[in-house]
């Protein structure tokens, strides 16, 4: 599958989800075939751990369709980046989508400075902090910039440096269930934003 075909499949899946289509069934036949023949996910999605943002549901997908990496605030750790590299090199996923969302608790907490936790939680908030700083603590803008920062993190990692055309960003609105926009890299490696569909 090409990157464009993968993007189209995400768009169609999301359209079906919005139209109230039933979640596709992962039949026992499908499960057996995925076990015997292996997985061939058509996209890698990095998204927040938030329970309202499950990508398989938002894109109307079945088991085997999406390779998913999740952490609060849709940030990538070394392990997450390694997972992404594995999907790209070994599973040949043709597209990477960073899916942020509105009213993100992790971004909101980073904006409000109200998180008191141990080292790992602090590290997560620190990772979001640059976006918060540029956004001057405006949560909505910080969410947008945080998506872009994760896109840049991916592009900066050696396996993806030559493949900016497969890296995308989007933001899911948890109130309307719609995806607000699509971000991608232009020829000068600047991020541009256009409507999702
Ligand atoms: Zn979130």
Tokens 């026992």, located at residue: 28
Q: What percent of the chain has pLDDT over 70?
A: 100
Between CA 160 and CA 156 the distance in angstroms is 7
Distance 120 CA to ligand 1 centre (A): 16
The total number of residues written for the chain in this structure: 197
For residue 106, give every residue at least 6 positions away whose Cβ sits within 8 Å of its Cβ, in sequence order, or none. Answer: 48, 72, 73, 124, 125, 128
Q: Tell me: pLDDT of 116 over 90.
A: no
Q: Tell me: pLDDT of 114 over 80.
A: no
Q: What is the pTM of this model?
A: 0.97
Please report which confidence band the pLDDT of residue 18 belongs to, taking 50, 70 and 90 as the band edges: very high
Distance 139 CA to ligand 1 centre (A): 11
| Mean pLDDT for all residues in the chain | 96
Please report which confidence band the pLDDT of residue 117 belongs to, taking 50, 70 and 90 as the band edges: confident
Give the mean model confidence (pLDDT) for residues 71-87: 97
Distance 164 CA to ligand 1 centre (A): 25
> Lowest mean pLDDT: which of 14-23, 112-121, 134-143?
112-121
* DSSP assignment of 15-26: HHHHTTPPPPP-
Distance 33 CA to ligand 1 centre (A): 33
Q: What percent of the chain has pLDDT over 90?
A: 95
Report CA-CA distances (Å) from 50 to 19, 32, 89: 22, 30, 28
Q: Report whether 103 contacts 122 (CB < 8 A).
A: no
Distance 72 CA to ligand 1 centre (A): 5
Architecture of domain 3-195: 3-Layer(aba) Sandwich (3.40)
pLDDT for residue 109 = 92
CA 184 distance to own-chain centroid: 13
Distance 54 CA to ligand 1 centre (A): 11
Distance 189 CA to ligand 1 centre (A): 26
Between CA 194 and CA 50 the distance in angstroms is 25
């Amino acid at each position: 599958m090409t990157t464009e075909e993968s993007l189209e499949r995400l768009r169609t899946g999301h359209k079906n989800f919005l139209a109230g289509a039933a979640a596709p069934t992962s039949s026992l036949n499908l499960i057996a075939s995925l076990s015997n023949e292996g997985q061939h996910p058509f996209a890698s999605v990095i998204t927040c751990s938030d329970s309202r943002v499950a990508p398989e549901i938002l894109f109307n997908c079945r088991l085997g369709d999406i390779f998913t990496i999740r952490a609060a605030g849709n940030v990538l750790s070394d392990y997450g980046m390694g997972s992404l590299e594995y999907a790209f090199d070994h599973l040949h996923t043709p597209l990477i989508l960073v899916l942020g969302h509105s009213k993100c608790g992790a971004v909101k907490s980073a904006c409000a400075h109200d998180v008191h936790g141990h080292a790992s939680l602090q590290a997560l908030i620190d990772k979001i902090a640059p976006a918060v700083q540029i956004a001057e603590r405006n949560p909505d803008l910080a969410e947008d910039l945080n998506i872009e920062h994760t896109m840049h993190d991916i592009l900066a990692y050696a396996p993806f440096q030559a493949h900016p055309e497969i890296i995308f960003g989007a933001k899911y609105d948890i109130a309307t269930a719609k995806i607000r926009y699509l971000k991608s890299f232009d020829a000068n490696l600047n991020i541009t934003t256009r409507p999702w569909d």
